[in-house]
Amino acid sequence: MSAAPAEALPHAAATTPSAPQRAPDRPRGRLGDRLFEGVTTALAIVVLLVPSAMLIELVGASRKAIGAFGASFLTSSTWDPVHGSFGALPFLWGTVVSSLLALALAVPVSIGVAIFLAELAPHRARGPLSFLVELLAAIPSVVYGFWGVFVLVPLLREHVEPWLAAHLGFLPLFQGPPLGFGMLAAGVVLAIMIVPTVSSIVREVLRAVPAAQREAAAGLGATPWDTIRFAVLPSARSGIVGAILLGLGRALGETMAVTMVIGNRPKVSVSLLDPATSMASVLANEFAEADSDLYLSALSEIALLLFGVALILNLLARWLVGATKGRVGSPA
């Protein structure tokens, strides 16, 4: 009670003397405003121009491949630089399957981690734990790749893949020799890489759900878990979808770690134990050695495909995250 007037005083004291000072400044202030507006607009246009320029450049560079292969580029699995025959299916397949596998592994874990960090962890531990999780997102992907090669791949080869082949080998998904390097390794590394991203965004989305809703549920006699399930998760749903799509975007574009563990074999195989490849991997591996115009053009078209897929997913994700935040932020 007594704090209110004490707070009001310095505030009033600060505004009164500055008011007459500001009046003569006004024309200059307006000029400054206009300048500021001009500069920011220009920067915004540059930010828009760069990706547009890249897109135009990629389309230009891919023109030869588009002309030579048309739609069959998307459906052919021949990748034969020597005879100049290119099909992107194994790369599309590898990127899409490894990313979806990563999502299947990472999403339940991420949502669990986010619920723990946002709702269940002791209040004092939440800040430090969240920081640690976000720190995981800052580890360079080549480090994840090394960890994949030296820890994950041997583990998969010696323990996990033989077990999968023995017990679930009747499924086409788990057939073939246990090589370690392959789709499964790529999926697992990607999953570990996107957990921090997805869980920290989901945590933010959960925190954005107003306390009033949690209290409404708790006040009706909901257990903490029921409160999360009925009062928190429904409001956060589209934000969670957005977070998942951002994770997917990161998985689709990831190059280094995937290249190191996926095996780099341009074949379409249903088995997760088989080596595979991805769009980003083939670009990283083969761009330097592309010796013909058509080869370069085919690689450019893969880059274009990757760019398009990632762009669409990111736009969708951001829109979804924004929609949730906007909705829960203005309940009245």
Selected binder of other proteins within 139, 220, 311, 312 (CB under 8 A): 220
Tell me if 216 contacts other proteins by CB under 8 A: yes
Tell me if 217 contacts other proteins by CB under 8 A: yes
Selected binder of other proteins within 121, 162, 214, 316 (CB under 8 A): 214
CA atoms of 73 and 294, how far apart (whole Å):
12
Whether residue 328 contacts residue 236, with contact meaning beta carbons closer than 8 Å, is answered with yes
Structure tokens at 23: 């009046």
Residue that has been written with the tokens 């004490």 in this structure: 6
Give least dist CB 130 to other proteins, A: 14
Grouping H, G, I as helix, E, B as strand and the rest as coil, residue 180 is coil
Tell me if 5 contacts other proteins by CB under 8 A: no
DSSP class of residue 243 equals H
Tell me if 218 contacts other proteins by CB under 8 A: yes
Residue 86, strand partner residues: 79
Tell me if 207 contacts other proteins by CB under 8 A: no
Residue that has been written with the tokens 């996926």 in this structure: 262
Tell me if 23 contacts other proteins by CB under 8 A: no
What is the x/- site pattern for other proteins, positions 105-124, by CB under 8 A?
A: ------------------x-
Closest CA to 63 of 327, 297, 317: 297
Structure tokens at 26: 């006004």
Tell me if 329 contacts other proteins by CB under 8 A: no
Selected binder of other proteins within 55, 222, 256, 290 (CB under 8 A): 222
What is the x/- site pattern for other proteins, positions 229-268, by CB under 8 A?
A: -xx--xx---------------------------------
- Size, binding site for other proteins by CB under 8 A: 25
Cα-based angle 246, 92, 54 (whole degrees, multiple of 5): 65
* CB closer to other proteins out of 262 and 328: 328
Give least dist CB 207 to other proteins, A: 12
Cα 25 → chain centroid? 47
Residue 80, strand partner residues: 85
Give least dist CB 205 to other proteins, A: 14
- Interacting span for other proteins (CB under 8 A) from 95-103, 223-231, 272-280, 306-314: 223-231
Closest CA to 194 of 157, 127, 233, 139: 139
Tell me if 223 contacts other proteins by CB under 8 A: yes
Number of helical (H) and strand (E) elements in the chain, helices listed first: 14, 2
* CB closer to other proteins out of 121 and 149: 121
CA atoms of 79 and 276, how far apart (whole Å):
13
Residue 208 neighbours by CB distance under 10 Å: 18
Tell me if 212 contacts other proteins by CB under 8 A: yes
Selected binder of other proteins within 38, 215, 293, 329 (CB under 8 A): 215
Residue 67 neighbours by CB distance under 10 Å: 10
Closest CA to 225 of 214, 210, 237: 214
Tell me if 227 contacts other proteins by CB under 8 A: yes
Residues 123-142 that bind other proteins (CB under 8 A): 123
* CB closer to other proteins out of 231 and 240: 231
Residues binding other proteins (CB under 8 A): 1, 123, 210, 212-223, 226-227, 230-231, 234-235, 327-328, 331-332
